[in-house]
Amino acid sequence: MPEFLTPVTPAEAHARFARVYTPRPRGTERVSLRHAHRRVLARDVVAAEDLPEFDKATVDGYAVRAADTADASERRPASLTIVGEVQMGSPPPFAVGAGEAARIPTGGMVPRGADAIIMLEQVEAHGATTVQAKRRVAPGENVLRRAEDVKRGEAVLRRGARLRPQDVGLLAGIGVVDVEVYLRPRVAVLATGDEIIPPDRRPGPGEVRDINTYTLSARVEQEGGVPEVYGIIPDDREVLLRTLRSARAAADLVLVSGGSSVGAKDAVAWAINTMGTPGVVVHGVSIKPGKPTILGLVDGTPIIGLPGHTVSGLVIFDVFVRDLLRGLAGRTAPRGFGRTVRARLGRRVPPAGGREDHVRVSLEERDGDLWALPQLGKSGVITTMTRADGVIVVPLGQDGLEEGAEVDVELFEP
């Protein structure tokens, strides 16, 4: 006798699963800075030195005493005696006194006595010994002071941060050559169904190529996980059960595409309940696309059953799997800047029939305004994803959206 889905709202599904499971990293390791990009810090990084470690010029020009330029102008320039030239990579062996200046390149160490840099375009040289300043400069102008960027003892990056290129550069700048990071989560990826064949085979009648293994594995990698592919599992309960047991023992998270609805061959819920406790926590979510979603837990390992349709699987990944994976990776909540843009809806979105609707949209600029154009189509049409730049969410209970409405578009990562 078949089991019937008992859909709950996305919020209730999250709440039910959160009551039985909290994702945590399984350990840490040290990696060199060269391999630290996109890894998640396992502890705060505290600067052991100042950055920069000396006052440095931010422009090409002349190091001067600001007071000597107080009355300088185009009509009445201040005449200064050149006492030397700063060489990159070496402390200047001279000081700048009253009425003096020293040639300095961008990044050069500011000589003793100088407190400002006047740009080359704002001076006029007279031979090798005199320069005339044609405007006044303020103390500290065009100078990056010692420790202005980073102070010794300052926590420059916090535990849970996923390292971006600029973060790696900062670490290099303060002399950090390796960091402690969380281990990347291991994620088992399974595709189920007698109709599924590898991409290198030509489909026969009723067969389809395996897309989900590749899309889900790519999303796992994008979120910092390590996909472990278990291949295509036939519609055989015992084979599925054996494979799931093996995957659960080796992985931190298991993703199964297909087999999550209530057909005679849809055995994922049965297998999860057979394997251990608490088993299936949620079976069915009021969401479009992705209604036959399974959230399961077996002896501490989450097993997520995603719909077989590719678009549904990707939507459910973003709604449920992404945060689990980020928790397993040790990530703190991302800032979110740049992830969402405001746009006007370019076409009406009809009601979703009592479900939270995740609508794929492409973005287009018209006369300076940003428009979100719905890419409507069935959940098996992957081009609604490839043509889209992001998604908008129509909340549960809302009667669709009218053309011209302002919407928030959550952007896909590039």
User: Is the domain of 369 the same as that of 264?
Assistant: no
Q: Are 10 and 356 in contact (CB under 8 A)?
A: yes
Which structural domain range is residue 402 located in? 340-411
Q: Are 329 and 40 in contact (CB under 8 A)?
A: yes
Q: Of 329, 349, 368, which residue constitutes the final position of a domain? A: 329
Q: Of 300, 329, 358, which residue constitutes the final position of a domain? A: 329
Name the domain count of the chain. 4
Residue 3 lies in a domain: no
Encoding tokens for residue 277? 């406790």
Residue 2 lies in a domain: no
Q: Are 297 and 23 in contact (CB under 8 A)?
A: no
User: At 367, which CATH number?
Assistant: 2.40.340.10
User: At 88, which CATH number?
Assistant: 2.170.190.11
Residue 334 lies in a domain: no
Nearest Cα to 27, choosing from 247, 328, 302, 251?
328
Residue 229 lies in a domain: yes
d(C-alpha 405, C-alpha 106), whole Å: 50
The model's pTM: 0.86
User: Is the domain of 73 the same as that of 135?
Assistant: yes
Strand-pair category, 123-126 with 61-64: unpaired
User: Is the domain of 160 the same as that of 305?
Assistant: no
Supply the pLDDT for residue 127: 87
Supply the pLDDT for residue 2: 41
d(C-alpha 251, C-alpha 190), whole Å: 12
What is the distance, to the nearest Å, from the Cα of residue 15 to the centroid of all Cα atoms in its chain? 24
User: Is the domain of 244 the same as that of 201?
Assistant: yes
Cα atoms in the 13 Å half-sphere on the side-chain side of 145: 8
User: Is the domain of 217 the same as that of 313?
Assistant: yes
Supply the pLDDT for residue 336: 47
User: Is the domain of 140 the same as that of 163?
Assistant: no
User: At 156, which CATH number?
Assistant: 3.90.105.10
Supply the pLDDT for residue 339: 84
Q: Of 123, 156, 182, which residue constitutes the final position of a domain? A: 182
User: Is the domain of 101 the same as that of 121?
Assistant: yes
Q: Spell out the SS3 assignment of the chain.
A: CCCCCCCECHHHHHHHHHHHCCCCCCCEEEEEHHHCCCCEECCCEECCCCECCCCEECCCEEEECHHHHCCCCCCCCEEEEEEEECCCCCCCCCECCCCEEEEECCCCECCECCCEEEEHHHEEEECCCEEEECCCCCCCCCEECCCCCECCCCEEECCCCECCHHHHHHHHHCCCCEEEEECCCEEEEEEECCCEECCCCCCCCCCEECCHHHHHHHHHHHCCCEEEEEEEECCCHHHHHHHHHHHHHHCCEEEEECCCCCCCCCCHHHHHHHHCCEEEEEECECEECCCCCEEEEECCEEEEEECCCHHHHHHHHHHHHHHHHHHHHCCCCCCCCCCEEEEEECCCECCCCCCEEEEEEEEEEECCEEEEEECCCCCCCCHHHHCCCEEEEECCCCCCECCCCEEEEEECCC
What are the tens digits of pLDDT across the range 278-321? Answer: 999 999 999 999 999 999 999 999 999 999 999 999 999 999 99
User: Is the domain of 245 the same as that of 322?
Assistant: yes
Residue 277 lies in a domain: yes
Cα atoms in the 13 Å half-sphere on the side-chain side of 39: 21
User: Is the domain of 34 the same as that of 176?
Assistant: yes
Encoding tokens for residue 316? 């459910």
User: At 268, which CATH number?
Assistant: 3.40.980.10
Q: Are 312 and 289 in contact (CB under 8 A)?
A: yes
Q: Are 149 and 44 in contact (CB under 8 A)?
A: no
What angle do the packed helices 237-250 and 268-275 form, to 10 degrees? 60
User: Is the domain of 43 the same as that of 171?
Assistant: yes
Residue 4 lies in a domain: no
> Who contacts 23 (Cβ-Cβ below 8 Å, separation ≥6)?
302, 323, 324, 325, 326, 327, 328
pLDDT in tens, the chain (414 residues): 345 578 999 999 999 999 999 999 999 999 999 999 999 999 999 999 999 999 999 999 999 999 999 999 999 999 999 999 999 999 999 999 999 999 999 999 999 999 999 999 999 999 899 999 999 999 999 999 999 999 999 999 999 999 999 999 999 999 999 999 999 999 999 999 999 999 999 999 999 999 999 999 999 999 999 999 999 999 999 999 999 999 999 999 999 999 766 664 579 999 999 999 999 999 999 999 999 999 999 999 999 999 999 999 999 999 999 999 999 999 986 654 458 999 999 999 998 888 999 999 999 999 999 999 999 877 778 888 889 999 999 999 898 999 999 999 999 976
Residue 383 lies in a domain: yes
Q: Please identify which residue in the block is written with the tokens 């990562």.
A: 413
User: Is the domain of 286 the same as that of 193?
Assistant: yes
User: Is the domain of 46 the same as that of 20?
Assistant: no
Residue 335 lies in a domain: no
Supply the pLDDT for residue 265: 54
d(C-alpha 85, C-alpha 27), whole Å: 53
What is the distance, to the nearest Å, from the Cα of residue 261 to the centroid of all Cα atoms in its chain? 32
